[in-house]
Amino acid sequence: MESMLNKLKSTVTKVTADVTSAVMGNPVTREFEVGRHIASGGPGLCWRIYNGTKKSTKQEVAVFVFDKKMVDKYQKFEKDQIVDSLKKGVQQLTRLRHPRLLTVQHPLEESRDCLAFCTEPVFASLSNVLGQWENLPSPMPNDIKEYKLYDVETKYGLLQISEGLSFLHSGVKMVHGNLCPENIILNKSGAWKIMGFDFSISSTNPSDAELKYTCKEWEPNLPPLCLPNPEYLAPEYILSVSCDSASDMYSLGVVMHAVFNEGKPVFKVNKHDIFKSFSRQLDQLSSISPAVLNKIPEEVREHVKMLLSVTPNVRPDADQMTKIPFFDDVGAVTLQYFDSLFQRDNLQKSQFYKGLPKVLPKLPKRVVVYRILPALTSEFVNPDMVPFVLPNVLLIAEECTKEEYIRLIMPELTPVFKQQEPVQILLIFLQKMDLLLTKTPSEDIKNSVLPMVYRALEAPSVQIQELCLNIIPTFANLIDYPSMKNSLIPRIKSACLQTSSLAVRVNSLVCLGKILEYLDKWYVIDEILPFLQQIPSREPAVLMGVLGIYKCTFSHKKLGIPKEHLATKSLPHLVSLSIDNNLNLNQFNSFMVVIRDMLSRMENEHKTKLEQLHIMQEQQRSKLRNQQPLAPQSIQPANTNNTKTKDLTSSLLNSMTSLNSLSLANTARPAPAQGTTIPAFPSSGPMAGSMGAPVSNGFNPPMGFQTGGMGIGMGMGITPNFGALTQNQGPVGQTNKAPNLSALDSLFTPSQPKVTLNQMGPKATPGTNTPWLNQFGSAQNAQTPMQGAPVGMGGVPSGFGMQANPFFSPQNFSQPAAAPSLNQSGIKHSSSVNNDLKDLFG
């Protein structure tokens, strides 16, 4: 790690020292920050090119620096000649303004150590791209080392150079004099620009039809930087000391050859014997070999051959070269149109942008991103053009990496997100929302993208609301959950409730139904389902949308509706909607299918719950039966005169006789107290009592005891009060005392402590929570019929049905096998009663 830091430190220090030594003290540094060394260019690649920014505006620029130390080996007058030549070239370039010439942002500044000027942002010189790497930084920048020209770039680049020469020859009446790859600069967008006017020659008679140019004789003793590149010079320049616009066209032909031959010119020139070299070259050009041009595309090969002609008049001029079929490539024409957009009106632009999506896929990505994209984004300042430009920008964004999107596209789109007019902008963004949410950083999504969606939901245009609602489900999985829950869903609900458009309301419900899977269960139950009951309209489409949300929630494996919610809210709501008169038969059937499914699931779930509860209760009862109950020492018997008997049959008959002694014939039925109810004893067949009056047998299953004057609460979880049976009027001489039930104590086995019925019955008060009552709590509510002979009972309307007494439950009582017998009053014991006793006491 330390070695890496040291290496980084040394590299930064070297670069900083390099820049500082070259530019320190130059006035250009007052306004511009100089960055890293990126390329080289100009005559002999003597200009080092740095990236930079303008301090005041942060505008990106390229800084060209010529370090005077490079020419220290020359004599002073030679140094001065070199500096003067370079200064002339930059000054001439500064005066000329054309899209095909390198644009100067800051004029030449001279200091003691260097010359410097600033231009538009630059990538490299064509010479660097073709493999000439002199005066480049070390290590070599990978973007230059790996740069390969695409066919469309080559075609359009040569077309641009031809257009630049046409401007110089026809517009300025000037010959460049040193057109070569060193003086062709590729700017940051990839456009080819001309520079290096050190040896340019202006016409001596610009107003005449036939222009004349004064050419300097070649001086081999001058430093190389004071001479043009001889490998790209026309033969007449050296041999006859003459030149005109055709001389530049020869240079263009050699440039075209170099572009298609990895930077190699047509001929190598011996600079020490230049005249001999050019004489030999002249002979070769007179009968040029086809092998020399075999790498040049066939459709332009003849034109290059003409450009390399020895006779200047045979060479096509620059204007003719711009019109050759080789440049009619769809990519080159597209790029050319972009460069002339400023000359077009909005109608022409709109037609061009409409057809652009068909062309973009045919162009290389680098050309699209660095050439076409900047031209498109520059149109965002024109609101009328944004709907035509934006689809192309988003199409390019799809092919970009996320890093390229964030760096090149997102800053340009941010202002457009906020534009509300024209309305097509919002529609286009909504259609590409998945792209925006995928490549836009999360912070920008929250600040720019989602607010645009919210505005669409709140837009006054019904069409925009509908489109937004239709598109939201397609990218809902890309929205973070807090934004969906706190911002998106509330706006969808608001749009549904407040709109007057049926389409918006229905689409809101459909949208909610489609994004339910991205919500959690309890948010749906707490926020979505209650919202459905607030919807005011009852159109069939709305009702079916409501049904759809219920169905999706109910059937989705991640969501689901609890049975409590089904029973209390969902089903009542759906049932009320299902009978709406606006529904047709199929729609009603759809409602009923969902309702039945809900009922079925609710039934199954609740039945399962009850079955499980029943099993648990049975297990608990089983445990209680197997345990020895504690003797209830704190419970005092109601009557201390109870006696024990060994005979079960006689004790039971005595108890029943004491009850039957309350005769209906001798004592009138007591009047019911005010505000109370006389319990009824319905039966399937009334029997005659001692006075022949029909009375109920008290064992019929459907009937329960109401709380009457006797204070016996039946079927309500209230412990029956057996003591109340003896508190009514009876025959003369009969005392009101509790029936003696202590004989049942003998039913307990010797190993078990005995608890008398008198201890359990008379003292128990309604609502008392004891283990015995809890044990038989379910039996109090059970209504199992007991079959037995009719029993006539007098005195009070009472009976020992299973509803009245939890002990008379068939599963809890048993009786030893014995023949039924009659008591003194002729009452026949019921076999079911004996069976119940047997179930209880085993």
Q: Tell me whether residue 27 is in a domain.
A: yes
Q: Tell me whether residue 451 is in a domain.
A: no
Q: Under DSSP, is residue 761 helix (H, G, I), strand (E, B) or coil?
A: coil
DSSP 790-806: -----SSS----TTT-T
186 closest CA partner among 362, 52, 41: 41
The pLDDT value recorded for residue 707 is: 41
99 closest CA partner among 161, 19, 55: 161
Same domain? 172 vs 320? yes
Cβ pair 832, 811 in contact under 8 A: no
Distance of CA 84 to the CA centre of its chain: 63
Residues facing residue 122 across a β-bridge: 187
CA distance 723 to 732: 20
DSSP H/E element including 235: helix 235-239
The pLDDT value recorded for residue 832 is: 53
Same domain? 162 vs 240? yes
Bond before 820 cis per omega within 30 degrees: no
Q: Tell me whether residue 257 is in a domain.
A: yes
The pLDDT value recorded for residue 104 is: 95
Q: Tell me whether residue 440 is in a domain.
A: no
Same domain? 73 vs 114? yes
Q: How many CA atoms lie within 13 Å of 330's alpha carbon, on the beta-carbon side? A: 11
Could you state, in chain order, the average pLDDT of each consecutive group of 10 residues for the chain (842 residues)? Answer: 47 46 79 92 93 92 93 88 93 94 94 93 94 87 88 93 94 93 93 94 82 85 90 89 91 94 87 81 80 89 92 92 91 87 84 91 89 89 89 92 90 86 84 85 83 83 84 81 86 86 87 85 85 85 88 83 84 87 88 89 89 90 75 49 47 54 44 42 40 43 41 41 42 44 46 48 45 41 40 41 41 42 43 51 46
> The tokens of 244 are what?
């005109």
Q: Tell me whether residue 271 is in a domain.
A: yes
Q: How many CA atoms lie within 13 Å of 420's alpha carbon, on the beta-carbon side? A: 11
Reduced 3-state DSSP string for 50-118: EEEEECCCCCEEEEEEEEHHHHCCCCHHHHHHHHHHHHHHHHHHHHCCCCCECCEEEEEEECCCEEEEE
Burial class (CB in 10 A: 0-12, 13-18, 19+), 419: middle
CA-CA distances (angstroms) from residue 772 to 621, 764, 779? 10, 11, 12
Same domain? 141 vs 251? no
User: Angle at the Cα of 810 (from 806 to 812), degrees rounded to 5?
Assistant: 65
Same domain? 164 vs 270? yes
Cβ pair 51, 33 in contact under 8 A: no
Q: Tell me whether residue 739 is in a domain.
A: no
Cβ pair 776, 802 in contact under 8 A: no
> The tokens of 4 are what?
């890496």
Range of the domain at 292: 151-327
CA distance 753 to 816: 20
Q: How far apart are the first and last CA of the chain?
A: 88
Burial state string for 773-802 with b = 16 or more CB within 10 A and e = fewer than 16: bebbeebbeeeeebebebbbbbbbbbbbbb
Residues facing residue 124 across a β-bridge: 186
CA distance 24 to 109: 12
Total number of domains constituting the chain: 3
CA distance 87 to 64: 12
- Which CATH number covers residue 241? 1.10.510.10
* Among candidate residues 121, 145, 169, the one where a domain is terminated: 145
Mutual orientation of helices 462-475 and 489-498 as an angle, nearest 10°? 150
Same domain? 106 vs 175? no
266 closest CA partner among 223, 226, 296: 296
Length of the chain: 842
- Which CATH number covers residue 89? 3.30.200.20
Residues facing residue 149 across a β-bridge: none
CA distance 676 to 633: 36
Residue carrying structure tokens 């609301």:
465
Same domain? 287 vs 216? yes
Q: What are the backbone angles phi and psi of residue 380, rounded to the nearest 5°?
A: -65, -15
Give the CA radius of gyration of the chain.
Answer: 53
Contacts with 570 (C-beta within 8 Å, 6 or more apart), sequence order: 529, 550, 554, 561, 598
The pLDDT value recorded for residue 713 is: 39
> The tokens of 426 are what?
């919002």
> The tokens of 581 are what?
């008169």
Q: Tell me whether residue 264 is in a domain.
A: yes
* Among candidate residues 92, 121, 145, the one where a domain is terminated: 145
Same domain? 314 vs 186? yes
User: Angle at the Cα of 414 (from 413 to 419), degrees rounded to 5?
Assistant: 90
Q: Under DSSP, is residue 185 helix (H, G, I), strand (E, B) or coil?
A: strand
Same domain? 88 vs 191? no
Same domain? 608 vs 535? yes
CA distance 378 to 388: 13
The pLDDT value recorded for residue 842 is: 45
Q: What is the DSSP letter of 187?
A: E
Same domain? 129 vs 162? no
Mutual orientation of helices 330-339 and 151-166 as an angle, nearest 10°? 50
Residue carrying structure tokens 């075999």:
294
* Among candidate residues 145, 175, 195, the one where a domain is terminated: 145
Q: What is the pTM assigned to this prediction?
A: 0.62
CA distance 514 to 473: 6
Same domain? 281 vs 210? yes
The pLDDT value recorded for residue 723 is: 42
The pLDDT value recorded for residue 740 is: 53
